[in-house]
Structure 1
Amino acid sequence: MMLLADIGNTRVKWAQAQGRILSGYGVTMHAGRPPMEVWRSVWADVPRPQRVVISNVAGAAVADSVRDYFQQQLHLTPEFVKPSPLAGGVTNGYADVAQLGADRWAAAVGAFSRYGGPVCVLGCGTALTMDTVNRDGRHLGGLIAPGLGTMQRALFAAAPTLPTDGAGQPVLFARDTRTALSSGVLYAAAGFIERVTAEVRDREGKEIKMLLTGGDAETLQPWLHDRFTLAPHLVLEGLAVLAELRT
């Protein structure tokens, strides 16, 4: 059994895997908490894995702490996935392949493995990301924009007198500042996604598969006019594929 972990800037998601079959999913917030405390709280009772395969975009200190945890507790050294020029039939489209986030790379590989191409992955987390893989498996590149929480925090930082708690169901004509903020941020994110995916469809064809993943995917999906498939475990699925290729 493998333990797969997707460590983002805010959350950590994990699953157990037998080959490409995943089970035992979990998710928790890690931002602002002592890393070692997080790992103990979520993995202490997980059955001992033979391998630990990780995507980490939260920085070197987090990587060091998770490495220390598994070495101390299980005498295992986790494997950190890094983008490569080619994996799982996907050719990395970045000029410098190392600049592509490990989570975006795993998601692209997972999407192509599951759906084939063309496929477009919209990541909805700390950042909004877009990555497209064509029918030949060529990663065309993508975009990065601020996510829902990041937009809100940027507004609060720039205008400290704004109320810091969102409120209620998003509406077009908000009648208080809290609702205006939460609604405006949601419309901004939805507008980014719809504009980007419209251009992707124009270039890659109407049959392209559109996937939503990330912690805010379910929040955003109802506000999108286009049809998207929720793929909440896409990074973990890609990690399973990449782990299989490393054996």
Structure 2
Amino acid sequence: TELIEIGVRCVIAAGWEVLDDAAQLFAETFYEHFLDGTNFGESILAARGATFDAFGSSNTWGAYQCYGDPGFVLPRPQRSVAPKAKPANYDHYLAASEVLCELERLTLRARHALALDKDATAYAERHAKALQALCERQGWIGQGNILEAFGALKAEYNRHDDAVDFYRRALAAPDASASRKAEEQLANMLTRRAKVLADTSDTAGALALLDETAAILAVDSRYRPASAERLSLQAAADK
């Protein structure tokens, strides 16, 4: 952890004695993927899988403790012709919780990368599309927390219409797994959109969105005390 604290992006350390041949395969597989542009987490996953398949009787595949940002990609020299982006593939995901973790990672990446990386939006859209397709196949797309996570990601890279749609679906989901924050995020986005409509003289459209905002914020007040964030949103809508 001290290495991480001083700025090292990723660390791999063996937790116990390893088998030489298995360790060599782990290292070769990891670097083959990592140096080819695969992110740290997926490179580790590939190395663990290859080592387990070849040396299943040894525990070397699980010996390596990995720390850092799983989405970190090794910076590469600029090329005159950009390499073709790898397709996002999440077919190995077996649980909705994995999707939630990946959506959170993508959201954090978008938050910090958009200003620095001209390809950040395309990266986020490509991965979001693959995750959404997976969720639709697996039936996870109806979960409120999944829909909320998609909304947060879409909002982060300024796909506001899509974000509003996902947040609305999240709050309407029958499993009620969307968080209180989803209500507040949707109310905030609707208030901002209402102001844009009002500025363009679409008074009816603006009032409809403000009515929706008021309904969203009022639902919670009947059951729980209003938070400072909620009161602030109500004040913004009232203006």
Q: TM-score normalised by the shorter chain: which range applies?
A: under 0.3
Give the structure with higher Rg (CA).
2
User: TM-score by structure 1 length?
Assistant: 0.21
Query: Which structure shows the bigger proportion of residues in helix conformation?
Result: 2
Query: Which structure shows the bigger proportion of residues in strand conformation?
Result: 1
